[in-house]
């Protein structure tokens, strides 16, 4: 189907934590293949696989040493081919991560590049001479702490690493590097993948003059736990050449009819940049971390979505509340729910009502929360460096909980990260077929989205007082009024121009023109005339 991605729902799978098939405590590709029927039954349209490529696993696969092979911990290329074939049998698309802005320091290209200044790969990475005093060439910082420059005694130069020192940045100002990256994409396209998720999509190019970043212009009362956020990243990323590179990628994707989604790693102008990166001829979709914070107000959601569609009428967003890098949203917004289940159901309904494409993080359909881990249990380099705050990413990456058996049905042995009692009680087997469960609500909501104006209808926001978020999706026959009480206190509003509640509405009752919205209520009402909502 042409433009299948537009309005589609993608489910993010973290291979290490989805299903272990060989009893080593680590999830793998055959395990994912085994669980694909669950995803098809859930009602999503695509599966996004986080990295499974050969890697020394210093950053859990986001440090790639061979872009065209599967790491043995996850299986083989034959296992990957079987996964794609099974997904397609079930009507699921397969999107795979591409971590192309940097590689592992164990990649053969980097080994060659660091050997001398005159070899064929000498200019494949970002190298720079020290300042006269021996210090790094700029003040750029690493996301994972410390300077973004690492001294290399072989070349007597610094190399750039926006993340770990073992993740050197590739030099995309070199056309050979671009051609190499396109070759990696072609390898997987020819194996049948339906698209790519591009990691840190705004990090490919750097300022060739290596100018210092200015301080963040926003006033902050004290230093942040991670000083990376104290700079305005004007020169180490977000360069205009990125957009030309997106257009080169798009030409290849169009050759195969494949889709793309970019991760916008930016805290200042992310919504605007999402629009720039999804302009015609560039990426198909883009998401950022804008909706993955702690704000759960009507004004926040209304402003963020309005900002995108008013600023990028020809662009296309992908919205997500959680992923493998942030605290799960049920944990972030816990104080705003009358119960964990009520908040989980409402958040799922809200996200799946937004215009754009949607990405679900594995386990959120169970109302899963973050796992509280001790320092000795951590594997995440970011979490270890900044302990105890921010908490890092292991807390959200613990294994999928399939049933109530030992090790949660994920493995026959102790898994690589623990499944603790608070998470263990929220399992697939215990929620399947239970009408009031979070899982069954997600299934109903996904089906409702596919068959209604929620998938492709335009959005018209209503300006209502907090904590009520209201908008109309679609026009004419089939248009829907969507109302959400984003609090744990009951309230009511007067509505006109609508019919009776339909679909997976929650905690709402229509009494004449008075709509009672219980705590964390969700209301879907067919539009029959001119819509009016009065607080």
449-504 pLDDT tens trace: 999 999 999 999 999 999 999 999 999 999 999 999 999 999 999 999 999 999 99
Give 310's contacts (C-beta < 8 A, 6+ positions apart).
none
476 lies in the same domain as 509: yes
Domain presence at residue 497: yes
Rounded distance between C-alpha atoms, residue 246 and residue 260, angstroms:
10
| pLDDT > 60? residue 1 | no
Q: Mean pLDDT, to the nearest integer, of 85-94?
A: 98
What are the φ/ψ torsions at residue 31 (nearest 5 degrees)?
-65, -40
Q: In 3-state terms, what secondary structure has residue 200?
A: coil
DSSP letter at 50 equals: P
pLDDT of residue 60: 95
228 lies in the same domain as 348: yes
Q: Contact at 8 Å (CB) between 43 and 91? A: no
Domain of residue 232, CATH code: 3.20.20.80
| pLDDT > 90? residue 420 | yes
pTM here is 0.97
Dump pLDDT digits (tens) for 146-160: 999 999 999 999 999
Domain presence at residue 145: no
446 lies in the same domain as 507: no
* Three-state secondary structure of 268-326: CCHHHHHHHHCCCCCCCEEEECCCCCCCCCHHHHHHHHHHHHHHCCCCCEEECCCCCCC
429 lies in the same domain as 497: no
73 lies in the same domain as 202: yes
Considering 255, 295, 466, 535, which one is annotated as catalytic?
255
442 lies in the same domain as 514: no
The alpha carbon dihedral of 33, 38, 41, 47 has a sign of: negative
Dump pLDDT digits (tens) for 270-286: 999 999 999 999 999 99
Give the residue among 205, 203, 246 at the shortest CA–CA distance from 228. Answer: 203
Q: Contact at 8 Å (CB) between 47 and 93? A: yes
pLDDT of residue 535: 83
Instruction: Produce one character per residue of 487-520: b if its CB has 16 or more CB atoms within 10 Å, e if not.
Output: bbeebbbebebbeebebbbbbbebeeeebbbbbb
Q: Contact at 8 Å (CB) between 60 and 27? A: no
| pLDDT > 90? residue 339 | yes
Query: What separation, in Å, do the N-terminal and C-terminal C-alpha atoms of the chain show?
Result: 42
What are the φ/ψ torsions at residue 359 (nearest 5 degrees)?
-125, 125
pLDDT of residue 217: 84
pLDDT of residue 45: 98
Confidence of residue 228 (pLDDT cuts 50, 70, 90): very high
Q: Which domain holds residue 467?
A: 459-534
Domain of residue 470, CATH code: 2.60.40.1180
DSSP letter at 138 equals: S
Domain boundary among 396, 418, 450: 450
pLDDT of residue 218: 82
pLDDT of residue 223: 84
402 lies in the same domain as 492: no
Identify whether 255 is a catalytic site residue: yes
pLDDT of residue 264: 96
Confidence of residue 418 (pLDDT cuts 50, 70, 90): very high
pLDDT of residue 532: 95
Domain presence at residue 111: no
CB-side exposure of 122: number of CA atoms within 13 Å? Answer: 10
Q: In 3-state terms, what secondary structure has residue 495?
A: strand
Give the residue among 456, 459, 470, 457 at the shortest CA–CA distance from 508. Answer: 470
Domain presence at residue 168: no
pLDDT of residue 224: 84
Share of the chain above pLDDT 70, in %: 100
Give 160's contacts (C-beta < 8 A, 6+ positions apart).
125, 126, 127, 128, 140, 148, 149, 168, 169, 206, 236
Domain presence at residue 130: no
Share of the chain above pLDDT 90, in %: 96
Considering 59, 71, 79, 199, which one is annotated as catalytic?
199
Average pLDDT over the chain, rounded to an integer: 96
Structure tokens at 253: 């994707």
Rounded distance between C-alpha atoms, residue 127 and residue 174, angstroms:
12
Q: Mean pLDDT, to the nearest integer, of 438-444?
A: 98
> DSSP letters of 92-161?
-EEEEEE--SB--TTSHHHHHHTT-SSSTTTTSB-EEPPPTTS--SS--B-TTSSBSEEEETTTTEEEE-
233 lies in the same domain as 318: yes
Measured in residues, the chain has a length of: 535
483 lies in the same domain as 376: no
Domain presence at residue 110: no
As for how many domains the chain has, the answer is 2
Q: Contact at 8 Å (CB) between 122 and 113? A: yes
Q: In 3-state terms, what secondary structure has residue 1?
A: coil
Element (H, E) at 99: none
Domain presence at residue 463: yes
Q: In 3-state terms, what secondary structure has residue 508?
A: strand
243 lies in the same domain as 342: yes
DSSP letter at 416 equals: S
Dump pLDDT digits (tens) for 167-209: 999 999 999 999 999 999 999 999 999 999 999 999 999 999 9
Give Cα 446 to chain centroid, integer Å: 18
Q: 522 — alpha (psi -120 to 50), left (phi > 0) or beta?
A: beta
Dump pLDDT digits (tens) for 292-331: 999 999 999 999 999 999 999 999 999 999 999 999 999 9
Identify whether 179 is a catalytic site residue: no
Rounded distance between C-alpha atoms, residue 101 and residue 143, angstroms:
14
Domain boundary among 450, 473, 495: 450
305 lies in the same domain as 414: yes
Domain presence at residue 160: no
442 lies in the same domain as 518: no
Domain boundary among 450, 475, 498: 450
């Amino acid at each position: 189907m042409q433009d299948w991605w537009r309005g589609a729902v993608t489910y993010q799978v973290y291979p290490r934590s989805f299903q272990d098939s060989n009893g080593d405590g680590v999830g793998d590709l055959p395990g994912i293949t085994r669980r694909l029927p669950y995803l098809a039954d859930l009602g999503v349209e695509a599966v996004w696989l986080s990295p499974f490529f050969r890697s020394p696993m210093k950053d859990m696969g986001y440090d790639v040493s061979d872009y065209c092979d599967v790491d043995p911990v996850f299986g083989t290329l034959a296992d990957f081919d079987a996964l794609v074939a099974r997904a397609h049998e079930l009507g699921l698309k397969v999107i795979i991560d591409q971590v192309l802005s940097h590689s592992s320091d164990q990649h053969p290209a980097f080994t060659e590049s660091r050997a001398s200044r005159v070899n064929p790969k000498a200019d494949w990475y970002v190298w720079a001479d020290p300042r006269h005093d021996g210090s790094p060439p700029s003040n750029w910082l690493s996301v994972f702490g410390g300077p973004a420059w690492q001294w290399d005694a072989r070349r007597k130069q610094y190399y750039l690493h926006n993340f770990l020192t073992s993740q050197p940045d590739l030099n995309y100002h070199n056309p050979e590097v671009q051609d190499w990256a396109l070759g990696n994409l072609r390898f997987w396209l020819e194996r049948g993948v339906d698209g790519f998720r591009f990691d840190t999509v705004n990090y490919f190019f750097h300022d060739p003059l290596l100018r210092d970043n200015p301080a963040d212009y926003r006033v902050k009362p004290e230093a942040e736990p991670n000083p990376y956020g104290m700079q305005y990243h004007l020169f180490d990323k977000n360069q205009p050449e990125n957009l030309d590179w997106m257009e080169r990628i798009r030409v290849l994707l169009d050759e195969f009819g494949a889709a793309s989604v970019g991760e916008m790693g930016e805290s200042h102008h992310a919504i605007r940049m999402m629009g720039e990166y999804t302009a015609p001829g560039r990426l198909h979709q883009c998401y950022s971390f804008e909706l993955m914070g702690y704000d759960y107000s009507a004004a926040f959601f209304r402003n963020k979505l309005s900002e995108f569609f008013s600023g990028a009428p020809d662009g296309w967003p992908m919205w997500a509340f959680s992923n493998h890098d942030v605290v799960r949203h049920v944990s972030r917004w816990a104080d705003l729910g009358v119960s964990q289940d009520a908040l989980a159901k409402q958040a799922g309904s809200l996200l799946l009502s937004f215009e754009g494409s949607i990405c679900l993080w594995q386990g959120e359909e169970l109302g899963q929360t973050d796992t509280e881990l001790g320092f000795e249990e951590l594997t995440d380099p970011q979490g270890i460096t900044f302990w105890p705050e921010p908490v890092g990413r292991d807390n959200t990456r613990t294994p999928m909980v399939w049933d109530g058996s030992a090790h949660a049905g994920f493995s026959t042995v102790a898994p690589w990260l623990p499944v603790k009692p608070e998470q263990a009680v929220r399992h697939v087997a215990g929620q399947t077929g239970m009408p009031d469960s979070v899982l069954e609500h997600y299934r109903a909501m996904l089906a409702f989205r596919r068959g209604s104006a929620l998938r492709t209808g335009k959005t018209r926001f209503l300006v209502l007082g907090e904590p009520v978020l209201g908008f109309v999706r679609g026009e004419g026959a089939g248009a829907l009024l969507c109302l959400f009480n984003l609090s744990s206190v009951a309230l009511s509003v007067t509505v006109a121009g609508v019919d009776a509640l339909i679909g997976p509405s929650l905690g709402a009752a229509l009494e004449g023109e008075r709509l009672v919205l219980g705590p964390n209520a969700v209301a879907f009402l067919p539009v029959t005339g001119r819509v009016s909502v009065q607080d």
